Structure 1
Amino acid sequence: MNLMNRFITKNEKLKLKFTDPTLLEQMNERILSWLPSEPHEYIIICIGTDRSTGDALGPLIGSFLSEMKPKHLQVYGTLPDPVHAINIEDRMKEIFKKHRYPYIIAIDASLGKTESVGHIIADVGSLYPGAALNKKLPAIGDIHITGVVNISGFMDYAILQNTRLSIVVEMAQIIAALLAKIDQQLTGAESRPSQKLNTNKKIPDPASSSQNSEARSQT
């Protein structure tokens, strides 16, 4: 891709079927183009719970990625230690206390149209976890990745619970491999914040956040 094309597409979201053989290369290039040029503390927040098959995408990714022992990505949200609706606000406070100015990649499962099932979506901006289930949770992430695990419709909670595990595991493996590929090309901050970061950055206020229609809703 030449520089002009890269400039044009830099801020456009990317949506690809998880079986697309070019997914790793395309998403790796797109996500790297979104990352800041200065070293940061890169945080991966994998949202979800293993109590629901469809919602297990996040913690599965966190567990798979942790097993790969990334050098520059710090992972929150695994099968043994998930980040979910009940503890997410406390975990965010913990992250911002431990990492002064983190650059966060938020990851979650989503529901969407029939033709979108099995797609992985990467986009700039925050993720609004729980939007499809009408849960008011804080906006999370500088960029986000979602996996469309099932169709959206009546009783979304039941749909998540009845999602096939096989597609969730396959998508989790692909996204974990993508993040591992990105990790290999990063320069870590070694737990020190960059001197050029915005010191006014703070945890988003859930009361002031509007729900994002792209996250956990009609995709």
Structure 2
Amino acid sequence: MMRHIHYLDKKSVAYLSEALTNHYLSKPAYTEIVIICVGTNRYTWDSLGPMVGSRLSERFEGHRHVHLYGTLEKPVHALNLQKTIAHIAKSHNKAYTIAVDAALGQFYKIGTLQLVEEPLQPGVSLNKELPPIGHIHLKGIINNHSLLNHKVMEHTSLTFIDEMSAVISRLLVKSCQDIIPQLMPAPQLGNEAPNHLSSAT
């Protein structure tokens, strides 16, 4: 199922955060949350994910239940995505994983946020074959897919991307706040202390 709403709609945060939380509650069998924000800091049009990640890192740094991958400082992109996925599978094998990425779409959909209840297929707009990730994913439509060339993409507004990232960050914070009390308790091995490290790759 996919839900969509324009990022400037005043109901966007409440609408999508509620839908995301309900998706988790339909099968609440996880002990932590992983958010992986895909993109690069080299191009404005592909920086939505890392911008979201950097905003969230200010809120969730060191959080015991929320682990973040992909920021402007340490982005997750095509070159390290597979390695990051492998690390997440090993270190957070019982995590509810939310993926975030920019996407291309039809002209009239630019500015739309899409919450899709299936794994993210990163790079599909650019015909890249990258591994899927996430139990659910959020996409922000940042430009028109029919005009795919670097001259057009370079004209994507940084202000537009920044504003969209702020909305996505707010709805993810709201969702995490609602999901955390519903997480399954993590099994403790002896007297081993829980892992409080929030990492980025």
Counterpart selection for 2:42 from 41, 51, 71: 51
The residue number in structure 1 matching 2:155 is: 162
Aligned residues: 182
- The amino acid that maps onto 1:65 is L
Q: Percent identity?
A: 35
Aligned 1:125-164 pairs, distance under 5 A: 125-164=118-157
Shift of 1:155: 3.1
Shift of 1:100: 2.0
The residue number in structure 1 matching 2:13 is: 24
- The amino acid that maps onto 2:139 is T
SS in 2 for 1:93: helix
Is 1:38 the counterpart of 2:21? The answer is no
Aligned counterparts of 2:50 and 2:168: Cα–Cα separation in 1: 12
Aligned counterparts of 1:76 and 1:190: Cα–Cα separation in 2: 22
Greater RCO, CA 8 A, separation 6+? 2
Q: Can you give the 5+ residue segments of structure 2 that lack an aligned partner in the other structure?
A: 189-201
Shift of 1:170: 0.3
* Contact 1:55–1:161 (Cα < 8 Å) also in 2: no
Aligned counterparts of 1:130 and 1:157: Cα–Cα separation in 2: 15
What's the TM-score once normalised by structure 2's chain length?
0.84
The residue number in structure 2 matching 1:106 is: 99
**Greater Cα shift, 103-112 or 38-47:** 38-47
SS in 2 for 1:68: helix
Shift of 1:39: 4.0
Shift of 1:192: 4.9
Aligned counterparts of 1:192 and 1:76: Cα–Cα separation in 2: 23
Shift of 1:153: 1.8
* Contact 1:132–1:156 (Cα < 8 Å) also in 2: no
Aligned counterparts of 1:189 and 1:161: Cα–Cα separation in 2: 44
RMSD across aligned C-alpha pairs, in angstroms? 1.8
* Contact 1:31–1:122 (Cα < 8 Å) also in 2: yes
Q: Classify 1:126/1:157 alpha carbon distance in 2 versus 1 (closer, same or farther; 3 Å).
A: farther
**Greater Cα shift, 71-80 or 48-57:** 71-80
Shift of 1:25: 1.0
SS in 2 for 1:75: strand
Aligned 1:208-219 pairs, distance under 5 A: none
Shift >6 Å, 4+ stretches:
none
What's the TM-score once normalised by structure 1's chain length?
0.78
Aligned counterparts of 1:190 and 1:79: Cα–Cα separation in 2: 31
Aligned 1:79-98 pairs, distance under 5 A: 79-98=72-91
